Structure 1
Amino acid sequence: MSAPQHPAHAQVPHVLAAEPPRSRPSSIEHELPKVGKIVFRVQGIPLEVTLEGLEKSFKSHFKRSNSQENTIDTGLSSLVPCCYGSGHQTALIQFQPQTPKRLESLAPGRCYDFEDPDFQCRITIDQDFMGSTQLYPTISNLRIEADVVAIPGINGHAYGSWTGASKQNRKTMWLRDFMRKDFHTCRTMIFGYHSALLEHYAHTMSDYTEDLLQEVTRARGNAEEMGRPIIFMGHSFGGILITHSIVKAWISKQPGRLCGSILNNFKGAIFFGTPHQGLQHLDELLEAVKKNQGRKALLESIKFGNRDLEDTLSAFKRYCQETKLEVVSIKESRETRKATKGELGELARNGELVMFVAVAFSELKLPENLETTAMAEGDHSSLIYEQGGYV
């Protein structure tokens, strides 16, 4: 198969392929934020509040001492339904002309909240996107055909990993900017988890898969949602989380919502540069986390030759063959620089060039009627316009 111009244009399972993607209008460049603008998630917004009402509230709360005001850029921001049916809505916002000082210093893992006197509720702002976040509203009078859940890799970001700069120096989050046009009857969500490699987290593979299964189940709370087709998309380690989660649900054979809603309606998966058979180039990363036993153990669990990884891969392939599950495997076509630890303790891609995920390792090697493979233009990171993810 010839290489697609963009991962989203690869052949996908039939649920997503029901309506062929339209060509992207060139005018969309004028709708996208300039590179460098931060996208924030705002939660706890009452259903009756409009974007203009939120802008007015934030203008008052973040008012400046001088004449210049930082306001929500309503052309680049949007209100979306809360994934959990909580009676609230969520906003994805950017500010103009710049981010308020109180949010500029918002550290990873922290949120900013305040009591809004107009809405009489507590508003929470973050830029981590932990848990599930819907990216765009679906059309109210059309039936939602499928749930799409996108999962980034280790050291990636739930939102930023799918974002990159276009030729016009504009920022494109293609899951949000293009899928809302091509697949407007799909509820597209991102899943955020504690993925930072240099943080002292102790999460295991089992912890992550349990979180993913519970989070997806929570986002599919009513009868209509539980019976809706679901498609997973994963980049690198995010793809491994998909295979491990499905196998965990399948083997456990537990009745009820956790396994039934997902397994009974799992219609396909799209893997972007996923090292199904493990990674070979981990020495520098293992050295970077050598004092963090939890992160070291996690990296060891996805190293080539790991027995548990091999067993889970075999089980997932059996699952695909027994259920006739269709998958798409997108492979990287360029070498990627290894990530090393810098002088300031940060991770940066400044090592030697390697094919980070070998072509053979990014395929499941299923029968042709079940697996579609495609080569994308890009290295392991730019494969999905990633900025900052390493595994």
Structure 2
Amino acid sequence: MDLLPAATDVQDCRPQHECWRVQNIPTSWSLTKFLQMLQKKDESLISLEEQCISLYPSYTGSSQTALLSMRPLPQYFQKLDPDDSHVLILEDMPEAGGKRGDVFLSLDCHFRGLTPLNVPVRNNLVDIVAVTGLGGHAIESWQSRQSDQMWLKDFLPCSIPENIRILTYGYNSSLTKPGKRSMVDYRRGFVQVLSNAQSTAEERARPLIFIGHSLGCILIAQALLQAQNNHSDSHILASTRVAFLFGAPHGGQKVDDLVSMVKDFTSSSCSSQQSRRLRLLEHLREDSDFLDDQRERLISIWEQMKIVSFYEKRDTKTVKKNEAGEWERTGEAARLVQGFSSLLYLKQESRYAIDEDHINMVRNAWKATASLGSHHSPDGVQLGLTNTIMFNSPGQQRL
């Protein structure tokens, strides 16, 4: 799910939002205690089991974050609005007879901001940040439709050094739901979140690896440009070592079907929303001046890092309005991002074709990039990460 409103914006037969995020969990809580506290709160959660929960240290280090993968979805979560964040208050009784205290947990399934996907051992030395695209979701966009496995969480941690932290970034990128839609808004929000995650001098010196899909690649590029122009954000550019770019529309992509959908969803009564979204799509259109200018300004930036570019080999169905007035991905198939658009043609760039369409190139990326990984991995897959990043010493990681 990404540049195209595939499963979030358009009709999809697969059940949605079976994974919820719980934040602000005390660092003293074990997975068992967290589960027990949930079950005490609502009887419909009795069916939850520990294997449905992944518990990770938050990127700030001051709390923990849990991912709950639930099928079927318990009644408690069915009652919650999936587009909002919710507060769950639990009463905690500390050990050794301490005073009772309220714990305020945050629940959501939109996954905005940064979400941790692994437990790095010792002090982590490298951060990996994955960025989805327009109409995407920080979890579901990277998740296989066949197995429900999310490769950034379920496979990647097993195939890279244990002191690397993996994060996924989500933002409100739906073309059909309320909210601002502009590249400036997206860029500022992303840079602010990255700065919050690297608040100390030690963290700002930590090497940074980006994994982007479609519009997410453009957002990464925009963040690097802001880091070049603003001294307060310069640490982002200085620490970036590698960018893995999937279906990056450096030269634009096909957007005519999305333009028609936006015009249909947004009437003249909300012309400001429509104009913002149409302007965003025009920025992404093939041969757009915005992308031409960005590509030229980025040349000196890309030269400072390693680039691994992936391009799709299959056409993707476009969106089309059905007889019931619903938009579905049942339109004519097209190559949404052409190979020449996805590549930078720089000497430090490695280029690979993926035998998938634009959407599934990241849903099935673990399988599709099997030949690029280390031979030491059971599946022979590491997305080329350990082959690309060389660690010279704990204090100095360079390519």
TM-score class, shorter? 0.7 to 0.9
8 Å CA contact 2:117, 2:153 repeated in 1: yes
Q: CA RMSD in A?
A: 2.0
1:341 Cα deviation from its structure 2 partner:
3.8
Residue 327 of structure 1 and its aligned partner are, at CA, apart by 0.4
The within-5 A match list for 1:242-321 is 242-250=220-228, 252=229, 254-256=230-232, 259-279=233-253, 281-290=254-263, 291=266, 292-321=274-303
Question: Which structure's relative contact order is higher, taking Cα pairs within 8 Å and 6+ residues apart?
Answer: 1
Shift of 1:158: 0.9
Contact 1:165 1:171 in 2 (8 A): yes
Shift of 1:245: 1.6
**Structure-2 separation of matches of 1:233 and 1:347:** 29
Residue 231 (1) aligns with residue 231 (2): no
Q: Distance in 1 between matches of 2:322 and 2:128?
A: 36
Q: Which runs of 5+ in 2 are unaligned?
A: 1-13, 93-100, 267-273, 365-399
For residues 253-309 of structure 1, what are the alpha-carbon distances to aligned partners after superposition, in whole Å with 9 as ceiling and x for unaligned?
A: x323xx222111110101111111111x21111011123222111111111122121
Tell whether the 8 Å contact from 2:60 to 2:197 is kept in structure 1 after alignment.
Answer: yes
Shift of 1:82: 1.2
Deviations 1:161-189 (A, max 9, x none): 000134xxx31100001111112321110
Structure 2 residue matching 1:270: 3-state secondary structure = strand
Contact 2:126 2:207 in 1 (8 A): yes
**How far apart in 2 are the matches of 1:162 and 1:344?**
30
Residue 108 of structure 1 is aligned with which of 72, 82, 85? 82
Q: Is the 8 A contact 1:55 1:71 kept in 2?
A: no
Equivalent residue number for residue 131 of structure 2 = 151
Q: State the shift of 1:37 in Å.
A: 7.6
Q: Quote how far apart the aligned CAs of 1:229 are.
A: 0.2
Q: Which residue of 2 aligns with 1:123?
A: 105
- The residue that corresponds to 1:54 in the other structure is 34
CA contact (8 A) 1:201 1:295 kept: no
- Aligned residue pairs, count: 333
Alpha carbons of structure 1 residues 115 and 76: separation in structure 2 relative to 1, 3 Å = closer
Aligned partner of 2:154 in structure 1 is 177
SS in 2 for 1:312: helix
The percentage of counterpart residues that share the same residue type is 30
State the 1:36 CA deviation: 6.9
- Contact map agreement 2:255 2:284 (CA 8 A) in 1: no
TM-score of the superposed pair, with normalisation by structure 1: 0.81
**How far apart in 2 are the matches of 1:222 and 1:76?**
34
Q: Any unmatched runs of 5+ in structure 1?
A: 1-33, 387-391
Question: Does residue 182 of structure 2 align to residue 208 of structure 1?
Answer: no
Residue 350 of structure 1 aligns to a residue in which SS?
A: coil
Bigger mean CA deviation after superposition, 222-231 or 149-158:
222-231
Aligned counterpart in structure 2 of residue 376 of structure 1, from 340, 346, 354? 354
User: 2:108 aligned with 1:134, yes or no?
Assistant: no
Q: Contact 2:215 / 2:248 at 8 angstroms: preserved in 1?
A: yes
CA distance in 2 between partners of 1:114 and 1:202 (Å):
27
2:36 aligned counterpart, secondary structure: helix
Dislocated runs of 4+, deviation >6 Å: 34-37
